[in-house]
């Protein structure tokens, strides 16, 4: 839990939190090779909808990602 002091608080009442999905990064070669922090006050997020992102740590996550892929492809076919 990110904020244990809010254990009894409904999640929809908390401030939105975002996580690095590792989808893509833009930058210069020098920037990536330097020892500077990747995330700073100059970082600009590209917020992805939750149905386009899946963290894969185990087989259940993989199965969910496949189901999301199939659902998104079926939706695109009917548009």
DSSP readout, 46-76?
Answer: -PPPGGG----SSHHHHHHHHHHHHHHHHHH
Is 78 a residue whose pLDDT tops 80? no
Residue 57's pLDDT is 92
Range of the domain at 29: 4-77
| Structural domain count of the chain | 1
> Which has more pLDDT, 3 or 52?
52
pTM, 2 dp: 0.58
pLDDT one-digit tens code per residue, 6-62: 889 998 898 888 877 777 888 889 888 988 887 888 888 888 888 888 889 999 999
């Amino acid at each position: 839990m990110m904020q244990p002091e809010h254990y009894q608080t409904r999640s929809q009442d908390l401030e939105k939190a975002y996580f690095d999905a590792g989808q893509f990064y833009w930058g210069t070669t020098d920037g990536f090779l330097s020892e500077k922090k990747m995330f700073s006050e100059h970082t600009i997020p590209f917020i992805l909808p939750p149905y386009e992102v899946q963290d894969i740590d185990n087989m259940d996550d993989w199965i969910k990602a496949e189901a999301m892929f199939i659902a998104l492809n079926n939706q695109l076919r009917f548009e």
